[in-house]
Structure 1
Amino acid sequence: MDINIAPVLENKARKRIRDENQWKRNVKKRERYSAKNPPNIKDIKSCKHKTCGKLKCDTLNPQDIRKFHEAFYAKPDKTFQDNFLLKYMKVHTPKRRRRIVGNRAESKSYTKFYVRTYVKPYKLIRVCQQAFSKILNVGIHRLRNISKTFLLLGNIPEENRGGDKISRKNYAKKQNVMKFIESFKCIEGHYCRSATSERKYVSSDLNIRKMWKMYQNQQEDESLKVRHCYFRNIFNTNYNIGFKTPRVDVCSKCMELSEKLKRAQNDEKINLMAALRIHKLKAKCFFTFLREYDQQTLSISFDCQKNQVLPKVPDQAAYYSRQLYIYNFTIVIGNATNTFPKENVRIHTWTENVHAKSSNEIASAVFNFLSETDFTGIKKLRMLADGCGSQNKNSTMIAMVGYWLTNCAPSNVKIVELIFPVPGHSFMPADRVFGYIEKDVKNKEVILYPSEYIDIYERYGTVRKLGVDYSVKDWKSYSKDIMKPPGQYHFKFAECKRYYVTRVKNKPGRFLLRGEVNYKSDLGVAKSVLKPSVSSTSEFGIRDVPPFQNKVSALKLDDVKKLLSNHFGEDWISALGTNELLFYKNVLEGTNIGEPDYEEHCEYLPEVGMSV
């Protein structure tokens, strides 16, 4: 979907705009036109003009003098003050000229001065030039210059010291450049972040110099051509545009439809455009759930980070070697608009030799989180999970949620909602935490121990070690014992994006399941998916999965051993102390060596229907 480019506010632009108000010369200019000392009332009152004549300087009271002085210096700007002075001056040509005495120049203007009163009835009091000058602390030459210029030219003197005198001449050029920049169409930000950010992105093939050359080639009028620095300044100070990096994890559906659109014609093209638009609308609908807030709903989101390697060394051979993995499964409390302090982030971690990364480990981590969370005042739990998953993984998670809801959850929690994003459009709050972690990991050249990763994790969340702080339960076998196969459900399980698990009021230990294919429509019916022979979710026990049973590939261990030998010598096991590299010694000498069990791979589930 194309997004138009538009100018942004100064504080939102690509480049910070200089603050000219803080320049030394502008600070001095403000000081020049600021009030120095309050007017001397006694000196003004000593004026010889009495109330009986035309000039009534003696009738001024201290309150009027003070307020008139403050009104003049309300804004330390010469143009503003000159307008203020002219407002209380009447300038005209003398009706009768007197004989010139000595070297005195002939007077070309005659000026009357007035001071406004600030007590009812408001009126203007005519005063002499000397009193007017003393009240405002303004020189007589400045008053004469203003009156003379106004009489001859009909306006006040312009400020010729400093200021911008070029931008007005180049107004047409600037407007033409801005029109050219706004003719580009933005690329939709990844994970739909463009909807919530001022930053817009254009193609990665462009840069400022290329865009400037394109502008120059389009201009037939030589007067509209600009220099590169001028074009760059407008680009940086009026827009917040970035150049998108080359894409590496593009949604497969988006790529498929986009490529078909390039070759399609007529009716087929219309159908493909509609399909692509609906696909992106579905992706955006998921993020509306991420942003929703309700006091009686607790929203959590969770995701797995990219596997981190052990040992992390700068050796070139490490690029081609197999290494041990440390896993990070993060749960975040709150919606996408919140900040995420450490107490709202739960990081579950374990190494490859302790447990695999399967549905049992993920469900056990979520169950541990739910068991330790306070649900006071909460009626609904919303769980937003990343990845398209598979039938087995989703059914394992539903079985765990059903068990927790019917046996462990407080009575005020009535329903649990599981929502899955559109594959390829799944930017979760946990990804922000992963970004912070990966930035710290990248800055460390060598990481040998799992504890070093854990120290980094502890900066951004509460760390829970799998197998130490909680145990892994066999939720996968439990789901097969109590629930029907997904193919026997009353809805198409694999096509659903939302699942609702609700407890049965009059039947403790049982729950109902409802599935929804779309994000905005609620057409499903809640029914039981338990086997007919199962009367309660607590009938079957849930056995623990013991740690250190996962098999690590012998080839991987050989590569790890070679890396350690390159860095610490062939006899690193016997030469090092008891605590150094003890983790690798235990892994290499352990009995859980062999061909690893196959992991549960995610299935790409195609979208069905044209509804959102």
Structure 2
Amino acid sequence: MSPRTLQMMLAPINSIKEGAVENSDPDLSDDDPTFQDLSSRSTQPRSSSSSKDASIPETSNCNVLIPASRKTRKRQRNPATWKQNITKALRNTGKPYTSMSKSRKEVPARRMRNPCTCRLKCFDQIDEARRTEIFESFWNLGSVELRRIFIKSCMMEPKYKYSNAQKPRSANIAFYFTINNKKNRVCKTYFINTLDITDRQIRTIRNKSNDIGIVAEDLRGKHTNRKKIDEMIVKDIEDHINGIPRIESHYLRASTSREFIEGGKTVKQLWRDFTEDRDPNKPKVDYWLYNQVFNNNFNIGFFQPKKDRCDLCSEYEMATMQHKKELKEKYDTHLKEKNLSRLEKQKDRESIGQGNVCTVYDLQAVMQCPVGESSSFYYISKLNCLNFTISELARTSKKNTNKEQNENIVQQNPEEDTTAEGKTVGAYGDVFNYFWDETQGKRGANEIGPCILDYLGKLSEKFPDTQLNIVFYSDNCCGQNKNKFIACLYSYAISHFPNIASITHKFLIRGHTQNEGDNVHSLIEKEIKRNLKSGPIYTSHQYVTLIKTAKKTGNPFKVLELTYDFFEDLKSLQDQWGYNFNEDDERKPVSWNDIKVLQFLKDEPFVFFYKSSYAQEEFMRVSMRNKRRKMPSLEEVSIRKAFTNKIPLGVNKKKGLAELLRKSLIPPFYMDYYKSLIED
């Protein structure tokens, strides 16, 4: 039988193969009674942002439907990798497999058995090559239902039959193989041995066939005895979860679309709050259902203050051998850049003094108020408070100065996160904290830039007779510090302050941006956590006090409370300063994502220099303006304010805060503060 012939025979049933879930052959289970068909067992979907098998419907065992376009908290299931489905696929294609039973029985592959020696001389009608083709095509179908239909198509009533065979299902049957569109009758033994099936399978097909010859669908695992869930109950749960205020992740907002909620409660505590607030006349909701809707219908994570692991390092660590080979070059470059950046930072710290200043800065994770143990605080959108920290690093003694030792640092074991700065992380000098809430400013370059400019002004006043060379370190946040607006601010600063000779900004490697600023933020967070044990935090002014007292020894942290009139419009500055930020002087494109170092010199105010790797020796030069376009002169450049008034709160936040005032959950002492926010 040719493949084309077999395809023509199966044309009417192709749709079954495309849409049906393939089940194990019930007749084959007689050969292996311990075999369990688990493919149709209902399971909860496990979803993530990416899908490996998008054709599988996302439903759970309680009929709670999950929209196909919605990302969920759970990983997406990939049934193709399940052991029972791998075993079933091997079984359905006639290949050897290991039973899923406790015995772990080894079942051999299907193979043709010896032909018959009957009077029909079947072995003379079909040669061995054709017989092998029939066997392979049959098992390559890979589907129980398709194999049954094929077997049924090969069974016909013979021209002559026994007179006592009255019942249709007990009558004798003739078997035919179609070769070159011609039916060739064979005996039952030849038929069974060619396909390597059993007589039980033939009896099953006859029993499942109706009067017009259609084989009934296999109903195993397709029971309808599933618990039905009222859609209104699911909607009530979703409404409750949607009512929980979301928190934008400070560290992950560029790399994930997952939503975050405050980590002060667990899913079970959220369920308890839901049941307590629920109308007692409505049906009771069990925890398993609330948990299932939370995990399967939403992609929500509990807020964590920092991201501890590097994505690329984690991916490489968990990758297969083949995937590791593909990632090897990228991973090695990543580690080299990480070690070089830390070595560079160590050298900068050793050079501190005589006009050399090394500083790190970072924006702390959002702090909210009011915050406390009360559930009423948890379920409202709270006021966001922001703290931008600039930490001056202390000078360290020189070590590992010779070339051989430096190379050892660069080639250190990647599994060990021992940095080039060793135990000096956390050794800092003065720390400046610029604090504001969301009614005064946002969290972009317009807010970060003026804080940097203010710090540079303080530094210039502190050392009026010294030419300063300032080095900044930070993470790679494009919206805050790695953009053309901050670049223009640096150029403006070296032109504006007479004793600042150069500014160099070095970006730590993604996933390995741990620095002294994190140490400062850790002290602040610990102080806040200790304070919450004694009572709620009601206003942003309480955070200011906690920041000032977070450092118990040495110089306390300095805090500057900012208002809307402090922030400046860096976009307007950039429009006046320059327009070319994407092409260097050699007409090569500038990839800002790849920039590792930026440098600004007083002698060339409208030029910046950059490196795309710490291993790169020479800087690339970029002219931000040229003579072809008329631009304001250096004396004509000015900066205007970013805001003329306070930023009003959103409707939901005003509504939530008003509800807290109405319930008297905020002490009268703080009511005027919140009334001023609500009425603006």
**TM-score, reference length from structure 1:** 0.49
Larger RCO, structures 1/2 (Cα 8 Å, 6+ apart): 1
If you compute each CA radius of gyration, which structure gives the higher value, 1 or 2? 1
